[in-house]
Chain A
Amino acid sequence: MTLRPDPTFHATPKLAMEAPAETLAFTLMLSPDGSQPDGLAVVDVDPKSKTYGQIVHSLFMPNTGDEFHHFGWNACSSALSPLTGHAFLERRYLIIPGIRSSRIYIIDVKEPLKAKIHKIIEPEEVFAKTGYSRPHTIHCGPEGIYVSTLGGGGKDGTDGPPGMFIMDCETFEILGRYEMDRGVQDKQYDFWWNLPRNYMVSSEWGLPPQYENGIVPEDLLSNKYGHSIHFWDLRARKNVQTIDFGENHQMALEIRPAHDPAKQYGFCGVVVDTTNLEGSIWTWWRKDDGTFDAKKTVTIPPHPAAADDLPELLKGFEAVPPLVTDIDLSLDDKYLYVACWGTGEMHQYDVSDPMNPTLAGKVELGGIVADTKHPNGRDFAYGPQMVEISRDGKRVYWTNSLYSSWDDQFYPEDEGGQMVMAHVGEDGGLTLDPDFYVDFPKGYRAHQIRLEGGDCSTDSFCYPSV
């Protein structure tokens, strides 16, 4: 506990944008075959530094086979909500779940270059206290740290639906399941919320047998992956509405609500439409009567390609689907970044009018067929994937791995982990920085990025920007 709120906590998104720029990034490294322990890389992102664009510290875990994916902070700007009474937490620990092992690491990064393991929660404890497995997304919320999981109980994670659980934000004890009434929700992926408006939105990927050993083409073509988003009364812990995008809209993944809590809308990315291989962005919003609605507001078409240029999985389609695997919204709620992991593109949409997004910028890099090189002349494995935006909205960082077994199916010939950065123009537009190119150690791939002091997919704000 501190005497004053952590200086990285901000009442509004606008105040967060005005805060000093990030100088370090934390990026997860995973060993795709589990032969080496997964790790956390600290990357220097301060352009004035001599070690700019280099990994300045790495912390490797004492286990193998964790498969790091997403992670988050123990505390963020949501601590400034007077309702919760946690204003004096420190943004100090990274909560890193292994989605293959169900183990959770609490890493102390108070001194980032001496990052150390603070606590390890073993899988057995997660299973015993929650009945869930394969922990994934982390957000700091009203009752502590909320964790979404991608699996239920049992060996293959199909004994009961996956869901969410809550951890104490100071002791990191697992407190128990979140849901009191899950309604029809039976799959889980991402979640986020509007704290003052008291609602949460969650999304669906698939069950463990549908992803752990690779994508299951028969399940995809028979539309068995998730295609709904769920709306929750956050504090009553009750699913109040489910919106089905239609079963052809396979894998509704990232949920990105407007950061300004006065705005009651947000976005969700859908990986692929099985009728035409399109990727899509949906805008969801809350109506005056308190119920929700959603509409497809962006479609991204597939690129035609010769069967010979395609991996086994896609040969029959003679096209590359864009595969919208990650999206991220700038803190001013102006630009939505959309990773097209299949075609190898990062799109920037102006979403000032959330119902009519317009393409404002685009970067081509990697891709199944295009395989575009970085401006520095080097290869970029796979395609743009996990994307993170600086608080001021001027820099966009991304890495390239989606999920170990899926990387191998869509990009059987690629290997490696990279992190790059693009600059955002004054009036939109996106340009890769030729000098920022992090190549991760041999045998490692790179996944989610967190920026020092918070970024555009961690902090939840309790007051509107004025």
Chain B
Amino acid sequence: MDLNSTAALWWAVVASGIYHGVNPGMGWPLAVSAALMERKRSSLWMALLALAGGHLLAMAAILFPFSALMALAAWQREIQIGAACLVIGLGLYLLINRRHPRFLARVPPSRLALWSFLAAMAHGAGLMLVPIYLGICGTVDTDTGHAAADTLIGGNVTIAAAVALLHTAAMMLSGGALAFGVYRWLGLKFLSKSWFNLDLVWALSLILVGGLSLWHVL
């Protein structure tokens, strides 16, 4: 892989963060609600931090096991194929099963971080990043093909952390900008006006990311 595709993959991490951030289903309206309910602007940022925290944890929970797997350097290609199939599979499942997970409704509104974590897990937000992450690992690992396993793991873990952090930062900034815009200028009418049903798009995004990755590896 060349530098350009490495840069493209990192931009994909940012883009997916923005995508998750502006999706109301990942929680930005809750930050608006918090500020309005508490009647203070700082509550918006506190809520946003909680949401970002939960999201970050969900990304880490999915990415770190893969960074351990990637230590099996000889199996890198197979792992990438497997991950791509997993992501496509989840996309297909969400495409067919359009029902919303009911357990999310049981989470008390005060537990925003927990809600954000579960929402991201339930919708496969972390899984969407896996093919991109594995792609980035690939660009690094080609040069260090014979490095010791522990160095490899160390490198992969660092990349996983960087991917999760960058993604979540992009998510928080975009979601935060939207939440603040609605809170400060646009008003809540924007919420019902701008909320599109992304279920289909989301499922297709998973299939797309998985498909691209598969095409690249094969």
Contacts and interface: CB of A to CB of B under 8 A. Distances in A.
A80 B32 CA distance: 13
Contact of B108 (A1, A5, A88, A235): A235
A11 B105 contact: no
Interface in B43-85: none
A88 B197 contact: yes
B110 A198 contact: yes
A83 B30 contact: yes
Contact of A11 (B37, B188, B196): B188
Given A11-B188, A11-B189, A463-B36, A84 B106 contact: no
A54 B21 CA distance: 50
Contact of B25 (A2, A85, A236): A85
A198 B110 CA distance: 9
A441 interface: no
A12 interface: yes
A329 B188 CA distance: 23
A143 B195 contact: no
B30 A82 contact: yes
Contact of A3 (B24, B32, B110, B196): B196
A154 interface: no
Interface string A226-248: 00000001011000000000000
B39 interface: yes
A261 B192 contact: no
B98 A80 contact: no
A376 B207 CA distance: 66
A142 interface: yes
A347 to B, nearest CB: 32
A84 B191 CA distance: 15
Contacts of B146: none
Given A83-B115, A85-B25, A262 B196 contact: no
B20 to A, nearest CB: 13
Interface in A385-409: none
Contacts of B24: 82, 87
A100 interface: no
A196 B98 CA distance: 25
B124 interface: no
Contact of A1 (B32, B188, B189, B199): B199
Given A82-B30, A84-B104, A235-B108, A262 B195 contact: no
Nearest to B25: A85
B6 interface: no
Nearest to A3: B197
- Kindly name the residue among A10, A87, A88, A144 whose own CB sees the greatest number of chain B CB atoms within 10 A: A87
Contact of B100 (A85, A462, A464): A85
Interface in A162-179: 170
A15 interface: yes
A86 interface: yes
A462 B105 contact: no
A159 to B, nearest CB: 29
B191 A85 contact: no
A333 to B, nearest CB: 15
Interface in B183-214: 187-189, 191-192, 195-197, 199
Nearest to A15: B189
B99 A170 contact: yes
Contacts of B195: 4-5, 80, 87
Contacts of A9: 192
B188 A15 contact: yes
Interface string B13-43: 0000000000011011110110011010000
B106 A235 contact: yes
Contacts of B27: 82
A10 B192 contact: yes
Contacts of B192: 4-5, 7, 9-11, 15, 80
Nearest to A171: B99
B105 A466 contact: no
Contacts of A82: 24-25, 27-30
B100 A198 contact: no
A83 B104 contact: yes
16 contacts: A1-B197, A10-B192, A82-B24, A83-B107, A85-B105, A87-B197, A88-B199, A143-B105, A143-B106, A144-B102, A196-B33, A233-B108, A235-B107, A261-B37, A463-B188, A466-B188
Given A11-B191, A85-B100, 19 more contacts: A4-B192, A9-B192, A10-B192, A15-B189, A80-B192, A82-B28, A82-B29, A82-B30, A83-B105, A142-B106, A143-B102, A170-B99, A196-B109, A197-B109, A233-B108, A235-B106, A463-B29, A464-B33, A466-B36
Interface of A: 1-5, 7, 9-12, 15, 80, 82-88, 142-144, 170, 195-198, 233, 235-236, 261-262, 462-464, 466
